[in-house]
Amino acid sequence: MPYDHATIEPRWQAYWDEHQSFEAKIDEARPKYYVLDMFPYPSGSGLHVGHPEGYTATDIMARYKRMRGFNVLHPMGWDSFGLPAERYAMKTGTHPRDRTYECIDNFKRQLKMLGFSYDWSREIATTDPDYYKWTQWIFLQIWGSWYDAEQDKARPISELPIPAEVEAAGDRAVHAYRDEHRLAYLHDAPVNWCPDLRVVLANEEVAEQVEAGHEVIRVPMHQWMLKITAYAQRLIDDLDDLDWSPSVLEMQRNWICRSEGAEVVFELDGQAGPDAQLRVFTTRPDTLFGATYMVLAPEHPLVSTITTDAQRDAVEAYVKTTAHRTERERQVAAAEGDKTGVFTGAHAINPVNDQRIPIWIADYVLMGYGTGAIMAVPGHDARDHAFARTMGLPIVQVVAPATGEPIDVQAQAYPEPGVAVNSGLINDLPTAEAKQKITEWLTAQAKGEARVNYKLRDWLFSRQRYWGEPFPLIHKPSGEVASVGVDALPVELPEVDDFNPSETGEPPLAKALSWVELPDGSRRETNTMPQWAGSCWYYLRFCDPRNASAPWSSEAEQYWMPVDLYVGGAEHAVLHLLYARFWHKVLFDLGHVSTREPFKKLVNQGMVLGATYVPRDPQAASAGPKRVFVSDEVEEINLGDAVEYVHKQTREPLTIQWDKMSKSRGNVINPDEVIAEYGADTMRLYEMFMGPLEASAPWQPEGVAGCFRFLGRAYRLFFESPKDAEDRARDLGEGQGSERQRRLLHRTIADVSERIERMAFNTAISSLMVFVRDVEKDGETLGRDAAGIFCQLLAPFAPHLAEELWRALGNPQSLTYEPWPQADPALLVEDSWTLVVQVNGKRRGELKIPASLDPKQAKDEITELAMASEAVSRFVGDKPPKRVIYVPGRLVNIVLG
């Protein structure tokens, strides 16, 4: 009988379940290891082979660390709020909850089939009221705090100092003052509203709907915002202590994007008073003398007040058109040199030279960055240059290359640093010094100051959706916002029949009137939280998932946190990690968690790529509509050293192409099928053997079959099949076998251990493969102890088979907690002895002969090595030597004729 995964795997899965082998409990006596996967959104299509790549990697680490004596926490759960279930509800009327839990069951079944060593007793779903109760509780912590810039941390809002004049103005004023300072605040922020579909779209969804012919407009809506910008600098600084890949660290830094510069004050011409000022942020205050006009974002609050009557119609029309464009579209258009804008009719005074310069509005200036207004320096900024050329505005040179090389700023902007020219008090200064000097001057004149800006924006935290966490807030008749109180948590979602927003874009919850309207005339908040919310803190809940009185106990948090290893897709390199780090820092400031950062080490697994096929002939491929075939339509012809693909019916020659797996491309591999045919151990092994964990790699069926054959051969080292009978355990040898087998074994222990530590799993697997191959080649039966150690080494990768073989050796218990084997250093040194090589009696060199070649027994091999050595081949031609004299253990003398 061949290796029978179909009986072995369910048996061990049942065993682990029954014995709760992976249940984690706090144990101060053992070091802890917290290894976490990015938990999945349980989609309707189930798992594809891309998911288990990361999950197998973490499972290897979890199993390995347990054997190393660590107390391992390895949990799994569901990021189960989200749009697909809501869309499905709109289409079918099925409640998103029913659909979600159906999908969870399917995901769980699939994950269980793969034999991952999760502590399932800690399973959580973000949609469970027991879970989102605490998501709401954390929101209340954030809402209940302000950021103290002096202490550089969040503090309870009750500790916010209230200025005397606010205090004097009464309760309402105090209330309003607090609301302005909270880390969660209400703001009229524009959303992407699609009137046809009656949905608010996320930025990344806009393009798709516009292509489908739907109108999408930006409309202002009352939205909850989280003040993540208060944490910008800490979110940058604390990256230094993390063991994350340089590329992810870079992406985080770029997203937050710190820029240093100055804020400069321009007076409005012909007006006076503090309102008659225009503030701009610039990274190049040294170019102030070259500012020939100013630009406001169309949404800038000053636009309506400064616009002259003559320009009003044009300005209003322009403001209206830009409202239709998303910020992304505006940025893209600006980058492509598409410059539009309108003159407001107003002028400002340049503070360095009192020049009167025109004020324009244009949508390449964004309201959300800096001050929403710029001084335009067309000589040295490419965007301003393109705009000035289009609008016929003056261009002045104020920086020259330090090399003295001539430039023509009329033709092209010169954005590089250099030396200031035509710039009054900073003339001849290099850019860095010029910036500093002009900033000092501005500060002294009270016309500006040094300023740091971040691209990071506050986080738009509300969604007009049903399937999300309700906000635990109410709006009182007085207009004040209040917490429902911690005792009233969770605020559960109301039952509704209709999951569509109202025609005006009011969220679906607004229609559940009996839920919204409270007896005292207050109304519940009807937005829900974004899907990010639940994933911002699930790693904390896993520490103490059944705690009914707190989100986690400090004992559990202090024992398990931080996460030692976090593995997930690179698509979460920015937002999820940034949001989770932000929440973590707020919780840290308020004393709820004890670490500054949640995730110590982060690894992003690569993508698994799937195959589709396109015509090989480039002309056929480009003619007519694009033709792409999926593997079912294609026949593979094996040509020995190559393969060819042809269409099964038309016989057209095709070539293979690799893409990210996706249902729409038709290149998805279903893990259920792979497991049915080859088993979970093969699938796990193959996922890890495809290449380095962080690299993307194509899914190749031949590779899967190869891994299956390897496991079959490992099985054969333990079992023989007498004719027509059940498999029978082999009679194994003594101990760790011969010296040679021991050396092989200990080399394998050393290699596998070191490679697992580095998470170089593909090479760890190859060293297991080499072991099995060499044992087979030697023909020596495996020693009983060597066999046990092999099981242990195999266990992290192919745990079902490893348990089966371990049991066959007579061990009554699972090997989950067997101590990891240690390599004996003495057996790792390659022993050798020295052979002197002579030609015609003259010494010509020395050779290192491996200790495994016995000087007395291996005469033939040793003389052959000597003949092939460089020392000899230089003297010996094609002719065979006359005589070869071998003195065992000492020398070989080649006598030529």
CB of residue 411 to ligand ANZ, shortest distance in Å: 16
Give the per-residue contact string, 449-488, with ligand ANZ (x = CB under 6 A; - = no): ----x-----------------------------------
Output the six-digit token pair for 383: 């965007």
Q: Does 370 bind ligand ANZ (CB under 6 A)?
A: yes
Q: Does 377 bind ligand ANZ (CB under 6 A)?
A: yes
Interface with ligand ANZ (CB under 6 A), residue from 157, 366, 407, 620: 366
**DSSP letters spanning 124-136:** EETTSHHHHHHHH
Q: Which residue number, 156 or 394, has a Cβ lying nearer to ligand ANZ? A: 394
Q: What is the CA radius of gyration of the chain?
A: 35
Interface with ligand ANZ (CB under 6 A), residue from 13, 126, 192, 287: 287
Number of H-type helices and E-type strands within the chain: 30, 35
Separation between Cα atoms, residue 363 and residue 46, nearest integer Å: 43
CB of residue 259 to ligand ANZ, shortest distance in Å: 3
Q: Which residue number, 266 or 281, has a Cβ lying nearer to ligand ANZ? A: 281
Judging by DSSP bridges, how do beta strands 258-268 and 341-349 pair with one another?
antiparallel
Q: Which residue number, 296 or 765, has a Cβ lying nearer to ligand ANZ? A: 296
Q: Does 281 bind ligand ANZ (CB under 6 A)?
A: yes
Q: Does 838 bind ligand ANZ (CB under 6 A)?
A: no
Q: Which residue number, 377 or 556, has a Cβ lying nearer to ligand ANZ? A: 377
Q: Which residue number, 125 or 288, has a Cβ lying nearer to ligand ANZ? A: 288
Q: How far is CA 455 from CA 256, 284, 855, in A?
A: 6, 16, 73
| Choices 86-94, 190-198, 365-373, 691-699; region in contact with ligand ANZ by CB under 6 A | 365-373
Phi, psi of 73 (to 5 degrees): -105, 115
CB atoms inside a 10 Å sphere around CB 569: 17
| Choices 32-40, 374-382, 797-805, 824-832; region in contact with ligand ANZ by CB under 6 A | 374-382
E-assigned strand segments in 330-427: 341-349, 356-362, 373-376, 399-400, 419-420
Interface with ligand ANZ (CB under 6 A), residue from 37, 53, 363, 381: 381
| Choices 368-376, 483-491, 557-565, 736-744; region in contact with ligand ANZ by CB under 6 A | 368-376
Q: Which of 628, 170, 263 is nearest to 451 (CA)?
A: 263
Phi, psi of 662 (to 5 degrees): -155, 150
Interface with ligand ANZ (CB under 6 A), residue from 209, 245, 259, 763: 259
Asked if residue 35 lies in contact with residue 602, where contact means CB atoms within 8 angstroms, the answer is no
Q: Does 369 bind ligand ANZ (CB under 6 A)?
A: yes
Interface with ligand ANZ (CB under 6 A), residue from 415, 653, 703, 855: 415
Q: Which of 143, 156, 134 is nearest to 552 (CA)?
A: 134
Residue 130 makes CB contacts below 8 A (sequence gap 6+) with 490, 548
CB of residue 430 to ligand ANZ, shortest distance in Å: 15
Phi, psi of 249 (to 5 degrees): -60, -40
| Choices 141-149, 301-309, 364-372, 691-699; region in contact with ligand ANZ by CB under 6 A | 364-372
| Choices 92-100, 142-150, 279-287, 680-688; region in contact with ligand ANZ by CB under 6 A | 279-287
Q: Does 278 bind ligand ANZ (CB under 6 A)?
A: no
Separation between Cα atoms, residue 667 and residue 645, nearest integer Å: 16
Judging by DSSP bridges, how do beta strands 634-638 and 602-605 pair with one another?
unpaired
Q: Which residue number, 415 or 698, has a Cβ lying nearer to ligand ANZ? A: 415
Phi, psi of 191 (to 5 degrees): -120, 165
Asked if residue 289 lies in contact with residue 425, where contact means CB atoms within 8 angstroms, the answer is no
Torsion over CA of 34, 35, 38 and 44, rounded to 10 degrees? -110
Separation between Cα atoms, residue 642 and residue 817, nearest integer Å: 46
Q: Does 283 bind ligand ANZ (CB under 6 A)?
A: yes
| Choices 214-222, 315-323, 363-371, 712-720; region in contact with ligand ANZ by CB under 6 A | 363-371
CB of residue 341 to ligand ANZ, shortest distance in Å: 12
| Choices 314-322, 375-383, 537-545, 631-639; region in contact with ligand ANZ by CB under 6 A | 375-383
Judging by DSSP bridges, how do beta strands 643-647 and 653-660 pair with one another?
antiparallel
Q: Which residue number, 284 or 742, has a Cβ lying nearer to ligand ANZ? A: 284
CB of residue 377 to ligand ANZ, shortest distance in Å: 4
Q: Which residue number, 372 or 508, has a Cβ lying nearer to ligand ANZ? A: 372
Q: Which of 742, 740, 735 is nearest to 825 (CA)?
A: 742
Q: Which residue number, 282 or 816, has a Cβ lying nearer to ligand ANZ? A: 282
Residue 56 makes CB contacts below 8 A (sequence gap 6+) with 114, 116, 684, 687, 688
Q: How far is CA 693 from CA 115, 199, 669, 757, 835, in A?
A: 19, 39, 19, 13, 44
Q: Does 84 bind ligand ANZ (CB under 6 A)?
A: no
Tell me the β-bridge partners of 100: none
CB of residue 369 to ligand ANZ, shortest distance in Å: 4
User: Mind spelling out the 3-state secondary structure of 662-722?
Assistant: CHHHCCCCCHHHHHHHHCHHHHHHHHHHCCCCCCCEECCHHHHHHHHHHHHHHHHHHEECC
Interface with ligand ANZ (CB under 6 A), residue from 372, 472, 507, 606: 372
Asked if residue 834 lies in contact with residue 848, where contact means CB atoms within 8 angstroms, the answer is yes
Q: Does 265 bind ligand ANZ (CB under 6 A)?
A: no
Q: Which of 192, 425, 668 is nearest to 435 (CA)?
A: 425
Separation between Cα atoms, residue 857 and residue 888, nearest integer Å: 9
Interface with ligand ANZ (CB under 6 A), residue from 113, 140, 359, 374: 374
Q: Which residue number, 330 or 747, has a Cβ lying nearer to ligand ANZ? A: 330
CB of residue 414 to ligand ANZ, shortest distance in Å: 8
Separation between Cα atoms, residue 586 and residue 283, nearest integer Å: 30
CB of residue 658 to ligand ANZ, shortest distance in Å: 36
| Choices 166-174, 377-385, 471-479, 751-759; region in contact with ligand ANZ by CB under 6 A | 377-385
Q: Does 331 bind ligand ANZ (CB under 6 A)?
A: no
Give the per-residue contact string, 855-894, with ligand ANZ (x = CB under 6 A; - = no): ----------------------------------------
User: What is the maximal distance between C-alpha atoms in the chain?
Assistant: 117
Q: Which residue number, 373 or 536, has a Cβ lying nearer to ligand ANZ? A: 373
Interface with ligand ANZ (CB under 6 A), residue from 154, 359, 375, 409: 375
Q: Which residue number, 420 or 801, has a Cβ lying nearer to ligand ANZ? A: 420
Number of residues that this document lists for the chain: 897
Q: Does 657 bind ligand ANZ (CB under 6 A)?
A: no
Q: Determine the size of the site formed for ligand ANZ (CB under 6 A).
A: 18
Q: Which residue number, 380 or 447, has a Cβ lying nearer to ligand ANZ? A: 380
Separation between Cα atoms, residue 241 and residue 252, nearest integer Å: 14
Interface with ligand ANZ (CB under 6 A), residue from 133, 234, 339, 380: 380
Q: Which residue number, 140 or 386, has a Cβ lying nearer to ligand ANZ? A: 386
Asked if residue 120 lies in contact with residue 76, where contact means CB atoms within 8 angstroms, the answer is yes
Question: In degrees, to the nearest 5, what angle opens at C-alpha 799 toward C-alphas 103 and 19?
Answer: 75
Residue 133 assigned as binding residue:
no
Q: Does 344 bind ligand ANZ (CB under 6 A)?
A: no
State the first-to-last Cα distance of the chain, in angstroms, to the nearest integer. Answer: 59
Interface with ligand ANZ (CB under 6 A), residue from 284, 451, 585, 742: 284
Q: Does 282 bind ligand ANZ (CB under 6 A)?
A: yes
Q: Which of 259, 258, 287, 293 is nearest to 439 (CA)?
A: 287
Residues annotated in the binding site for ATP, as ranges?
Answer: 663
Residues annotated in the binding site, as ranges?
Answer: 663
Provide the binding-site residues for ligand ANZ, judged by CB under 6 A.
259, 281-284, 287, 365-366, 369-370, 372, 374-375, 377, 380-381, 415, 453
